[in-house]
Amino acid sequence: MIEISYDRNMLAQVEKKLGKMKNEAPKALKNAINQTAKQARKELAIEAQKTYTVKTGRFNKAMKIKNATPSRLEATIKATGKVMGLKDFKVSPATMRTGENRPEVVKAKVLKSGGMKPLQMGSLKAFVTKFASGHVAVAQRRGSERKPIKAFSANSIPVMLGNEKRVYGVVKPHIKENLKRNVQAQVRKILEG
């Protein structure tokens, strides 16, 4: 969960700039915070899509914004989602193949910066399969005999978005700058309006 809020110093500065209209300060901060939250959600999705091979659109859908109000000057961006199957990332081949069409080894990659990695442990090779439920996954047998299979999984969307090094850490400075800019724009709007 990412919180976007003001500090007391910011409120005092806005009230000072507004002068006689200082009672408009909570409204100005609310609007600026909500606008910043929308910008942050968009930037987080863009940065995550630059970093991970997850199909486009999944990040925006996973993030919900709880807007600020004049009495609660804080917006939150909450990402939800379960651990994703490796099939949700880049996999080659992407579909189940049998017989002569079956590849020597299935390859996958989670990060766009990395290369395709072969999914093989000793003589056990991964394969794309379709379960009775209709779910398609990248899986591997648990032993050399025809033992049950296990499906490969990767990170959840909240974990990917919260990654300090690759996503949130990159966007965090932009959030602070956007908030300052949005507060100034709201103050100007009130003074000029």
Q: Quote the pLDDT of residue 98.
A: 62
Q: Is the pLDDT of residue 107 over 80?
A: yes
Helix (H, G, I), strand (E, B) or coil at 184: helix
> pTM value?
0.83
Q: Quote the pLDDT of residue 101.
A: 67
Tell me what the mean pLDDT of segment 107-115 comes to. Answer: 88
Question: CA-to-CA distance for 175 and 50, rounded, in angstroms?
Answer: 18
Q: Quote the pLDDT of residue 30.
A: 94
Q: Quote the pLDDT of residue 43.
A: 94
Question: Residue ranges of the domains in the chain?
Answer: 2-81+157-192, 84-154
Higher per-residue pLDDT: 124 or 184: 184
Residues 124-158: tens digit of each pLDDT: 788 888 777 888 888 887 776 667 788 888 889 99
| Cβ atoms < 10 Å from Cβ of 152 | 17
CB 97 within 8 A of CB 27: no
Higher per-residue pLDDT: 7 or 144: 7
Q: Quote the pLDDT of residue 89.
A: 87
Q: Quote the pLDDT of residue 96.
A: 65
Residues 19-60: tens digit of each pLDDT: 888 888 889 999 999 999 999 999 999 999 999 998 767 888
Residues contacting residue 89 through CB under 8 Å, at least 6 positions apart: 52, 53, 54, 108, 109, 110, 154
> What's the mean pLDDT when you consider all of the chain?
86
Confidence label for 97 from pLDDT (cuts 50, 70 and 90) = low
Q: Which long-range contacts (CB under 8 A, 24 or more apart) does 88-93 make?
A: 88/54, 88/55, 88/58, 88/154, 89/52, 89/53, 89/54, 89/154, 90/53, 90/116, 91/128, 91/138, 92/116, 93/128
